[in-house]
Amino acid sequence: MLSFLLNQTLIVALSLSALFPSAEQIDDATRSAVAYFKAVAVSISANAQRNTEKQNAEQQGFGTRRIDRQAPNTNLQGSSNSNRQQQGVDRHRHSRYFVAGSRRAVQVGSYRDLPAGQPLSQEPGASYYFFKTLYGSRVHLVVIDIDSAAWDLRPAVNATVDTTTHSAQARSAAATVNGGYFGLSDGASVSYVIVDGKEEASPRRNSSLLANSRLSRSTKDAIYNRSEMRILVSSSGKNEVVVAHHDEAIPNGFMLLHSLQAGPRLLPDLNTEKEAFVRQENGKTVDVIRSRQMVARTAFGVTADRRVLLVCVEGGEEQQGRGGATLIQLRQLMLDLGCVEALNLDGGSSSTMYVSYPDSQGRSVGHTVCRNNPERRVKSVLLLLKKKQQSGKIKVPSVQKRCK
């Protein structure tokens, strides 16, 4: 029917043009009629093209994925009004993004819907991707296979503060993003970091935080218990990667190998108030991470098919005004990429991603693809390293099952 209307409209428009080939022979009424029918023809054609694109997307299965892990929680009963607004993410409706090799935005329901990424090495299991959001933000993504024997994902703490780029280069990392929170005045960590079972940083050793009289005891307790990414290892050497609150017990049969605290948790729930990122101080609402503003963001996610995602969104005043994302937009982005668990890392001027991959001659070349200018020095980072070849089982450190 739509095709028939388009054809008839084009016939009318062409007929009128043929009857009056020169501008002098066309009076105002006829000229208006010709313009009207041409405009209708263009409108019908555009609608037909959009419907065709929609049908093609549905036939190709965009936005469909099988989830074996816990799906994001959309039950908001018992949440505060602000949390209900923050949870405004539709996990059944995925967004469209501008990707390489396509002149039109495509619907993305998993990182697998993106064009093939740039491998970080000849070894499989880690690739870099770049794409743009419809609201103009540039997104950098690294996807890592949890089960790959080639890669080692771990946090690190700088002795003082250092740039993410230098932190990566000093450790020959294939990919690195900034990590947890820290004090800008003294560089002291406001996040727990555990490496190889040993506590390398703790907010309870942050003298400025401990002495802050504006924070109530309940607020400080919420800060200590913020969410963290954890890499767990079983006695057989199998790794599991999860997002959990700091005081959550380690599952039976596993030990804590590495952890990096930041927050808030993005998936399955968004916990800005529970983790004291949005809080009341002296009768005023304080939002310490500008959750409703479009700023640069860094995030960590885990998918149902056992992939870890590192995400850096350029943005805001910190990074030449390139879009950025609100916390809700970041949560939707992680959901669109297929994450079932996700964690917000330190953002704004701290947001940085470094990747290294082979050039045309096979030589590994480093690129800081996302950063502030000048690049901010940070306390902790999350590194992707080439795993050292080991014989036999992985040595599991002796650690407690509950972080203190």
| Domain layout of the chain by residue ranges | 2-60, 82-386
pLDDT score at 8: 52
pLDDT score at 320: 56
What pLDDT, in 10s, does the model give residues 255-314? 999 999 999 999 999 999 999 999 988 889 999 999 999 999 999 999 999 999 999 999
Phi, then psi, of 149 in degrees rounded to 5 = -85, -5
pLDDT score at 281: 87
pLDDT score at 316: 67
pLDDT score at 318: 53
pLDDT score at 321: 54
Taking the alpha carbons of 70, 75, 79, 82 in that order, is the dihedral positive or negative? positive
List 355's β-bridge partners, or say none: 175, 367
pLDDT score at 382: 98
pLDDT score at 34: 45
pLDDT score at 319: 53
**Chain centre to alpha carbon of residue 352:** 12
Nearest C-alpha neighbor of 318 from the set 294, 287, 345, 292: 294
pLDDT score at 270: 96
pLDDT score at 353: 98
pLDDT score at 6: 46
pLDDT score at 103: 81
pLDDT score at 92: 54
DSSP characters over 78-125? T--HHHHHHT---TTS--EEEETT-SS-EE-SSGGGSPP-EESSSSSS
Phi, then psi, of 357 in degrees rounded to 5 = -150, 160
pTM of the shown model? 0.76
Query: Which of the residues in the chain have pLDDT under 50?
Result: 2-6, 9-26, 29-30, 32-34, 37, 39-40, 42-86, 389-404
Which is it for strands 254-261 and 227-234: parallel, antiparallel or unpaired? Answer: antiparallel
Determine the Cα–Cα distance for residues 377 and 260; give it in Å rounded to an integer: 17
